[in-house]
């Protein structure tokens, strides 16, 4: 994982900490713990996990917190257990049981049909105890204060919805289904459990949830809080950016221009190195068949490129935009601005290195 030191010896830099969040902890609790271990207040996370959930929580420290906004929107993978036969107030095991309906008549064929209907691009109504804001207040705050909360449906994508195992519980009255899903950002697995139960006319809720991947980061890369307390490991800022974005090597002179917020020549006109899973999208490697990671695909959609100086330091995230005569830019980029109406320049969207 790189940059591993004992906390008392740590001279903390900037990077991403991949935590295997334990059950019973909020994401805010984990951030507080990392602040203590890293000795810095500049800590944030890239996507909340419910207290009952475990698994991958991406935490940024120091300058790497500026990468988190580009990680929040990536696809995520979960394993979970859905219990058919009971509906709860929160769509998971932490809520009160609202209704009980026998699930003994549910067949594997019906489960497969209902799962298929919830796969792909669907409309989903989030759980009433979600963190979505309604008139400035979180939905869960309103629900817990006794208000009737009605949320609008919204489009989400369930890329994969696999049934791993099915077990009959309580003499067959209840059915537990182990599933694995890969979903777009904003998808609630609790809502999938609820909707699966309603489709099967039994009701349903989530009894276990574990996030196994966030974009390119998998559960195999995580460390527990206990392990971090003994040996604080994190992915350095430059390495993290290289995993998330196409990389462009720039000269020392270009790096200096970027440090001062100036535009440089367009990345499309330079040699760019793509993370391995993205090679099929690289113009020079059209024959590669590897599937791009969701995080890298998102960075492609955003049009962002990570710029690294000759020493390997991450200088800035760049975006190619139409050239603007008179904009603050390097001499080469200024020449490009008068080359024609289709000329492009690379604008520093986010500068990590400070100007001298």
7 within 8 A of 232, measured Cβ to Cβ:
yes
220 within 8 A of 114, measured Cβ to Cβ:
no
- Residue 295 CB partners (closer than 8 Å, separation 6+): 70, 71, 74, 75, 214, 215, 216, 243, 244
Q: Is position 290 annotated as part of the catalytic site?
A: no
92 within 8 A of 190, measured Cβ to Cβ:
yes
Choose, from 20, 29, 50, 281, the residue flagged as catalytic.
Answer: 50
Give the strand pairing for 133-134 and 120-124. Answer: unpaired
Alpha-helix residue ranges (DSSP H) falling in the chain: 27-38, 69-72, 108-117, 139-144, 189-199, 225-230, 237-244, 252-259, 294-302, 331-337
Tokens of 269: 């006109």
- Residue 181 CB partners (closer than 8 Å, separation 6+): 77, 78, 80, 158, 160, 161, 162, 189, 192
Per-residue DSSP letters for 228-265?
A: HHHSB--EEHHHHHHHHS-EEE--HHHHHHHHTT-BEE
CA atoms within 13 A on the CB side of 318: 33
Tokens of 325: 């005569």
219 within 8 A of 20, measured Cβ to Cβ:
yes
Catalytic positions are 50
């Amino acid at each position: 994982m790189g940059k591993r030191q004992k906390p008392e010896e740590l001279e903390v830099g900037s990077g991403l900490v991949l935590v295997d969040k334990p059950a019973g902890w909020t994401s805010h609790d984990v951030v507080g713990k990392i602040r203590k271990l890293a000795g810095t207040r500049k800590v944030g996370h890239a996507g909340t996990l419910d207290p009952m959930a475990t698994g991958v929580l991406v935490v940024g420290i120091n300058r790497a917190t500026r990468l988190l906004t580009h990680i929040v929107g990536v696809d995520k993978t979960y394993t979970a257990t859905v219990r058919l036969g009971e509906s709860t107030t929160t769509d998971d095991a932490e809520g009160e049981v609202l209704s009980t309906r026998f699930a003994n008549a549910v067949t594997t064929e019906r489960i497969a049909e209902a799962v298929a209907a919830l796969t792909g691009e669907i409309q989903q109504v989030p759980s009433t105890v979600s963190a979505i804001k309604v008139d400035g207040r979180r939905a869960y705050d309103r629900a817990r204060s006794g208000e009737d909360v009605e949320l609008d449906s919204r489009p989400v994508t369930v890329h994969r919805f696999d049934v791993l195992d099915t077990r009959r519980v309580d003499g067959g009255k209840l059915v537990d289904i182990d599933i694995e899903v890969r979903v777009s950002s904003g998808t609630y697995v609790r809502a999938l459990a609820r909707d699966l139960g309603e489709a099967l006319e039994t009701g349903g809720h989530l009894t276990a949830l574990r996030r196994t991947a966030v974009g390119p980061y998998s559960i195999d890369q995580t460390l527990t809080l206990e392990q971090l307390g003994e040996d604080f490991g994190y992915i350095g800022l430059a390495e993290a950016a290289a995993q998330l974005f196409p990389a462009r090597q720039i000269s020392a002179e270009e790096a200096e221009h970027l440090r001062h917020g100036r535009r440089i020549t367009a990345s499309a006109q330079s040699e760019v190195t793509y993370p391995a899973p993205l090679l099929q999208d690289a113009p020079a490697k059209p024959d590669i068949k590897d599937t791009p990671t969701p995080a890298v695909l998102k960075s492609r959609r955003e049009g962002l490129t990570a710029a690294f100086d000759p020493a390997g330091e991450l200088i800035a995230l760049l975006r190619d935009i139409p050239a603007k005569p008179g904009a603050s830019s390097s001499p080469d980029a200024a020449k490009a601005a008068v080359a024609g109406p289709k000329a492009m320049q690379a604008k520093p969207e986010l500068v990590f290195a400070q100007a001298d």
